[in-house]
């Protein structure tokens, strides 16, 4: 993992009980995301720590968790990627809660070397949050009441 400033790393605090997905990026560009069962997405940035990001569709969040169960996430080892640790690069830590149990997987190396299950989950997570951001960005501005 590349050298980076300690102050710029996502906290290792255990996420709250309603968080069903956590995604932490450590390395040159640390970043984090937490998805709550109700669709709330929080983002961790070096500048602001954990902050609310957007409201996603709770059904899509549930579908992501189901996808993890269906496609074999639970069968992955705790660490995936190349046998010998890369020099520098990014380390990605997943947590997905299934039936009340939290399952952690750490991926090292770059995306192309990951297990296909993680690659598919990664893309789906981005789409869930990205579409929610798109909707918010494209929504017409709320009209102010003109009063009487």
Other Cβ atoms closer than 10 A to 123 = 12
Q: For residue 27, state whether it binds another protein (rule: CB under 8 A).
A: yes
Is position 62 an interface residue for another protein (rule: CB under 8 A)? no
36 has which bridge partners?
19
Non-local CB neighbours of 52 within 8 Å, separated by 6+ positions = 40, 41, 42, 43
Residue 10 binds to another protein (criterion: CB under 8 A): no
Selected range binding another protein among 19-27, 55-63, 64-72, 96-104, rule: CB under 8 A: 19-27
Stretch in the footprint of another protein (CB under 8 A) among 11-19, 63-71, 72-80, 110-118:
110-118
The rounded distance, in Å, linking the Cα atoms of 77 and 75 is 7
Cβ atoms 38, 58 nearer than 8 A: yes
Which spans of this chain sit near another protein (rule: CB under 8 A)? 1-7, 9, 23, 25-29, 31, 33, 43, 45, 53, 81-82, 84-90, 92, 109-113, 122-123, 126-127, 129-131, 133-134, 136-138
């Amino acid at each position: 993992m590349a050298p980076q400033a300690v102050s710029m790393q996502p906290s290792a605090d255990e996420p709250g009980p309603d968080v069903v997905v956590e995604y932490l990026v450590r390395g040159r560009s640390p970043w984090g995301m937490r998805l709550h069962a109700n669709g709330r997405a929080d983002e961790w940035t070096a500048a602001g720590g954990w902050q609310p990001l957007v409201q996603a569709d709770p059904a899509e969040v549930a579908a992501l968790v189901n996808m993890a169960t269906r496609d074999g996430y639970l069968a992955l080892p705790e660490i995936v990627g190349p046998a010998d640790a890369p020099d520098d690069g990014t380390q990605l830590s997943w947590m997905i809660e299934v039936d009340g149990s939290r399952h952690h997987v750490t991926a090292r190396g770059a995306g192309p070397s990951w297990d296909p299950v993680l690659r598919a989950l990664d893309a789906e997570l981005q789409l869930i949050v990205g579409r929610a951001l798109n909707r918010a960005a494209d929504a017409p501005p709320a009209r102010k009441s003109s009063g009487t």
